[in-house]
């Protein structure tokens, strides 16, 4: 907007709305976010405890996509700040970043 000094795509250092919208534009990424919202229900027999998040291999199995495609989707969600990762040995675990999800939803409510 003319005269608006604030960048509407970035409301804080931790949230870039355009990056989030871009990440959520893909249905597979929205599926991943939905699965991670309730991992106990969506990953019935995980190989690893869920305290650290869901192992990337479990997400890959659930998605039915290639490992590289799943990794690409997870990387996009991470870049957008929607998920965080935790490394434990050779394993990588993902969790939703509820703070960013909530901030995004509130900002969309405010703007739209």
Whether the CB-CB separation of 58 and 70 falls below 8 Å is answered with no
- CA–CA distances in Å: residue 83 to residues 2, 41, 53, 104, 110: 33, 18, 10, 13, 23
| Lowest model confidence (mean pLDDT) among 2-6, 13-17, 50-54, 87-91 | 2-6
What pTM value is reported for the model? 0.84
pLDDT by residue (tens digit) across 44-90? 776 778 888 999 999 999 999 999 999 999 999 999 999 999 999 99
Ordered alpha helix ranges (H), 38-66: 39-42, 56-63
């Amino acid at each position: 907007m003319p005269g608006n000094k604030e960048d509407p795509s970035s409301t804080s250092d931790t949230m870039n709305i355009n990056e989030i919208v871009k990440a959520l534009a893909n249905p597979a990424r929205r599926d991943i976010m939905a699965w991670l919202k309730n991992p106990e229900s969506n990953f019935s027999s995980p190989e690893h405890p869920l305290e650290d998040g869901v192992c990337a291999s479990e997400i890959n199995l659930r998605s039915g996509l290639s490992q590289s495609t799943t990794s690409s989707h997870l990387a996009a969600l991470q870049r957008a700040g929607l998920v965080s990762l935790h490394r434990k040995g050779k394993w990588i675990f993902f969790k939703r970043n509820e703070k960013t999800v909530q901030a995004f939803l509130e900002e969309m409510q405010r703007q739209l």
